[in-house]
Amino acid sequence: MSMAAKKKRIAKKKPAKKATPKLHPLKRSVKFWHEEKVIDLICSELATSSKGLGSIILKQKQQTGDFPSYSTIMDWLDKHDTLQDKYARAKEAQADYMVDETLEISDAEPSVVVDAQGVMRIDSASVQHAKLKVDTRKWLASKLKPKKYGEKIQQVHSGQVGISQILEEINEQDAGLPNYDEPEE
């Protein structure tokens, strides 16, 4: 084979195809996410942690390099009732998880510090931090699942209220008001 023929043959070779980037497992295509799979992942994480949606998104972006934004997820929840229901159930489950966490935090031994004289003492800052963590989880649980963890409001009725008392109060309030039942003079 002549040198010219070899050059022609090399020139005719097709350029190598670029490797297509691996598609994220939660994507339908390069541009579009599979909403239900993304929400399922988020709900699974929510129900088993005390992390918020923003923290979960950040963690997923760090692990995979790509994940839908907070506003995108909130748009999906607004548009799809089924996704919104899943998310609401996950947040309720998260309330139960956080209540369980309060027991673990409360049962943990407080940190001990040794002062300049060599005396061991409980670190009051760590106790206050644990108290803050417990109080925060209790408050969140009361908001996420109010029927189970919310404040119980009891209405206590004391005293006697009879119909005669109510009528007397109404008559007192009517004093001096025009009576439209009687003709004007």
State both tokens at 45. 């994480």
Q: What is the DSSP string of 81-149?
A: HHHHHHHHHHHHHHHHHHHHHHHHHHHSPPPEEE-TTS-EEE-HHHHHHHHHHHHHHHHHHHHHSHHHH
Give the Cβ contact number of residue 102 at 10 Å.
18
Q: Which fold has domain 23-147?
A: Arc Repressor Mutant, subunit A (1.10.10)
Q: Note the pLDDT tens digit of each residue in 44-79.
A: 999 999 999 999 999 999 998 889 999 999 999 999
What tens-digit pLDDT sequence spans the chain (185 residues)? 666 666 666 656 666 666 666 777 788 777 889 999 999 999 999 999 999 999 999 999 999 888 999 999 999 999 999 999 999 999 999 999 999 999 999 999 988 888 888 889 988 899 999 999 999 999 999 999 999 898 877 776 666 667 777 777 777 766 666 666 666 65
Element of type H or E holding 64: helix 53-64
Would you tell me how many other CB atoms lie within 10 Å of the CB of residue 84?
14
Measured distance CA(139)–CA(99) in Å, rounded: 10
Give the integer Cα–Cα distance in Å for 110 and 123.
7
Q: Is the pTM of this model over 0.85?
A: no
